[in-house]
Amino acid sequence: MNGKFSENTILQNKNKTQLMVLTSMVFATALVLAIIENALPALPIAVPGVKFGLSNIAVMYALFFLGRKQAYTIALLKAGFVFITRGAIAAALSLAGGILSITVMVILIILFRDKISYLVLSIFGAVFHNVGQFIVITVIYTGMNLWAYFPVLLISGLVAGLVTSTLLRFIMPAFHRIG
């Protein structure tokens, strides 16, 4: 699904208030997706903490159709919500993963504007979300050798990117109705 990545796709016809309300609704959607994912049973794999990151569907939508600023805002708000509900370490993981993920996707959009698909962006976003989290974990647990976990994070990021891209394709019509 190749497409032109223009922050003006939805922004052209929106004033600041409408954009703020739309961003808030996408953030609320991210929270609902996170709650749904947390209510699902754990994935049947031996590695703890691996998730699909369903709330990142909303962040990707924001990046692709609302703009960079809105995507970063939603990532910051998500980290704040995580801080309130799960604590400082989880919030640091959420923030590092979210910011690095969005930044990598923005760079790829700039470099390959019309030649990159949502699928590829989603995979890179998910992988670098895991890389950002890995960086935070290695800083927090400096004495532990965590490098054996890194390949698992890369593979799970690949799978999560495939899943979130596929789900975004199905959820996109509902997001467009919101906007």
* Residue range 76-102: mean pLDDT, rounded: 95
Give the CA count within 13 Å in the CB-facing half-sphere of 86.
Answer: 15
Per-residue confidence band for 110, with pLDDT thresholds at 50, 70 and 90: very high
* Residue range 56-81: mean pLDDT, rounded: 94
The model's pLDDT over 1-18, given as tens digits with 9 standing for 90+, comes to 445 555 555 555 678 888
Q: Which two tokens stand for residue 132?
A: 């950002």
pLDDT value for 114: 79
What does 1-43 look like in DSSP terms, one character per residue? -B----THHHHTT--HHHHHHHHHHHHHHHHHHHHHHHHSPPP
Residue with the bigger pLDDT between 2 and 53: it is 53
Whether the predicted pLDDT of 45 surpasses 90: no
For 143, phi then psi, to 5°, come to -80, -5
Domain architecture of the chain: domains with CATH: 8-178 (1.10.1760.20)
Q: 17: which strand partners?
A: none
pTM, rounded to two decimals: 0.84
